[in-house]
Amino acid sequence: MTSAASAARTFDSPLLEGLTDHGVYAGVEAGPDWVAEVRRLAKARNATILAHNYELPAIQDVADFVGDSLALSRIAADVPTDTIVFCGVHFMAETAKILSPEKTVLIPDQRAGCSLADSITAVELAQWKAEHPGAVVVSYVNTTAEVKALTDICCTSSNAVEVVESIPEDTEILFLPDQFLGAHVKRVTGRQNMHIWAGECHVHAGINGDELAAQAKAHPEADLYVHPECGCATSALYLAGEGAVPDDRVKILSTGGMLDAARETGAREVLVATEVGMLHQLRRAAPGVDFRAVNDRASCKYMKMITPAALLRCLVEGRDEVFVDPAMAAAGRSAVTRMIEIGQPGGGE
Ligand code: 13P
Ligand code: SF4
């Protein structure tokens, strides 16, 4: 047998026979055979599988590491394997490639985008910067590589406050693209010279204040965990301000921060305002607590494109490979490196 034929056999899998693609890869069951095939193929490719907290439970369970955006970026910068399989959305895999350009970075379905990352383009940012010469640009990691190349420091929801606090107080800041995260950071830091782009994530913006207030009323003993990208973050603080929910029960947290809080909570019930994939890790972290979604329709269709079929196809075919133009990657690297240096470890590290 030639070495090419033997490699083809190593990476082949009979489970892929039922693969279909009607906009999302399907046709493969996530049973024990699939788990064994995924692990065998990952080993054969010398690959580390990373999964975001919003992925389907089967994908989270088969991964080497599960975490929030910051933790996964830090892990991606450090893994010893030649290949990273990023079970998350495209900007996350791009960030891994920027941090580890010598590695092969694969995403199980390159169509997994992000409505928030799409809410600002590099041209729009260049224009905004021209209107504010001298301002420091802080971009959420949920941005394209082109936008990162025009950015001074990236952040995630777990270190956005620390990133803004690291910038001299008299320096203007352009914060993008998430308006709700921006409002949260402005509230916490009291920073006045911070301009905020009016972007949003369609999933989190859809978790509204009325739903949160109704749930808080129906579950008066529950803690509230609210992701800062949510449209209802302000309502959560309003409820606390009005005394409808005690102050110490309202926590605005990144997905990793929610897991840390879950491990320490004394509450029996927690209402969770973020993408529903988060419930899987929360229930694992604190099996005695009743975690409920504030909005059980808050599912990110992009995160859910990373199906069992997509992951198997990725490991068999070595696709979809993520490429970032080397000059663009070099331009964005210092912003991303500064991001992973700021803030506490946690969220899956
Ligand atoms: P974190 O994992 O950083 O909280 O991010 C949430 C998110 O929306 C990623 O798309
Ligand atoms: Fe983007 Fe929102 Fe999906 Fe996160 S949940 S990947 S911010 S669209």
Give per-residue pLDDT as tens, 309-321: 999 999 999 999 9
What residues contact 309, with CB distance under 8 A and at least 6 apart? 16, 18, 19, 20, 25, 26, 27, 28
Residue pair 156/255 in contact (Cβ under 8 Å)? The answer is no
Residue pair 116/152 in contact (Cβ under 8 Å)? The answer is no
Question: CB-based burial of residue 4 (10 Å sphere; 0-12 exposed, 13-18 middle, 19+ buried)?
Answer: exposed
Q: 69: closest CA among 89, 83, 85, 84?
A: 89
pLDDT of residue 163: 96
Mean pLDDT of 280-309: 96
Q: How far is the CA of 186 from the centre of ligand 2 (A)?
A: 21
Owner of token pair 């580890």: 100
**With a 6 A CB cut-off, is 93 part of the ligand 2 pocket?**
no
217 vs 128 pLDDT, higher one: 128
- CATH 3.40.50.10800 range(s) for the chain read 14-113+302-323, 122-200, 208-293
Output the six-digit token pair for 9.
């056999």
Residue 266 has pLDDT above 60, yes or no: yes
E-strand stretches of 32-176: 47-52, 65-67, 83-87, 104-106, 136-140, 153-155, 173-176
Q: Closest Cα to atom 5, ligand 1: which residue?
A: 69
User: Residues comprising the binding site for iminosuccinate?
Assistant: 52, 69, 140-142, 157, 227-229, 255
Give the whole-angstrom CA distance, residue 284 versus residue 143: 30
What residues contact 225, with CB distance under 8 A and at least 6 apart? 251, 253, 258, 261, 262, 270, 271, 272, 273, 274
Residue 8 has pLDDT above 70, yes or no: no
User: Residues comprising the binding site for [4Fe-4S] cluster?
Assistant: 114, 201, 300
Mean pLDDT of 95-112: 96
**With a 6 A CB cut-off, is 201 part of the ligand 2 pocket?**
yes
High-pLDDT (> 70) share of the chain, %: 96
Alpha-carbon separation of residue 203 from 2, 4, 180 (angstroms): 49, 44, 12
Q: How far is the CA of 114 from the centre of ligand 2 (A)?
A: 5
Q: Closest Cα to atom 2, ligand 1: which residue?
A: 68
Give the whole-angstrom CA distance, residue 201 versus residue 228: 11
Say which range, 9-23, 57-71, 240-254, has the weakest mean pLDDT: 240-254
Say which range, 97-101, 110-114, 139-143, 232-236, has the weakest mean pLDDT: 232-236
Residue 2 has pLDDT above 60, yes or no: no
pLDDT band, very low/low/confident/very high, at 175 (cuts 50, 70, 90): very high
**With a 6 A CB cut-off, is 275 part of the ligand 2 pocket?**
yes
Ligand 1 pocket, Cβ-based, cut-off 6 angstroms: 53, 68-70, 142, 156-158, 201, 229, 254-255
Task: Tell me the best of 179, 227, 260, 282 to mutate to test the pocket of ligand 1, counting ligand atoms within 8 Å of each CB and taking the most.
Answer: 227
3-state secondary structure of 58: helix
Q: 66: closest CA among 277, 291, 288, 336?
A: 277
Q: Any bridge partners for residue 137, and if so which? A: 174
pLDDT of residue 6: 59
Residue 90 has pLDDT above 90, yes or no: yes
Task: Tell me the best of 54, 89, 91, 94 to mutate to test the pocket of ligand 2, counting ligand atoms within 8 Å of each CB and taking the most.
Answer: 89
Atom of ligand 2 nearest to the CA of 229: 7
Residue pair 109/306 in contact (Cβ under 8 Å)? The answer is yes
Residue 224 has pLDDT above 70, yes or no: yes
pLDDT band, very low/low/confident/very high, at 96 (cuts 50, 70, 90): very high
- What CATH number belongs to 208-293? 3.40.50.10800
Give the whole-angstrom CA distance, residue 250 versus residue 227: 11
Say which range, 73-77, 99-103, 325-329, 344-348, has the weakest mean pLDDT: 344-348
Which ligand gives the minimal distance to the CA of 302?
2
CA-angle at 302, arms to 298 and 304, nearest 5°: 75
Q: What are phi and psi of 104, to 5 degrees?
A: -85, 125
pLDDT of residue 346: 61
122-200: CATH, from 3.40.50.10490, 3.40.50.300, 3.40.50.10800, 3.40.50.2300: 3.40.50.10800
Q: How far is the CA of 79 from the centre of ligand 1 (A)?
A: 21
pTM of the model: 0.94
Residue pair 85/106 in contact (Cβ under 8 Å)? The answer is yes
Mean pLDDT of 295-305: 96
Give the whole-angstrom CA distance, residue 25 versus residue 310: 5
Average pLDDT of the chain, as a whole number: 92
Mean pLDDT of 177-203: 94
Residue pair 25/310 in contact (Cβ under 8 Å)? The answer is yes
Give the whole-angstrom CA distance, residue 168 versus residue 178: 22
Residue 79 has pLDDT above 60, yes or no: yes
Looking at residue 28, its amino acid is V
Say which range, 148-157, 161-170, 336-345, has the weakest mean pLDDT: 336-345
Other beta carbons within 10 angstroms of residue 265's beta carbon come to 19
Architecture of domain 14-113+302-323: 3-Layer(aba) Sandwich (3.40)
Q: How far is the CA of 18 from the centre of ligand 1 (A)?
A: 32
Q: How far is the CA of 299 from the centre of ligand 2 (A)?
A: 9
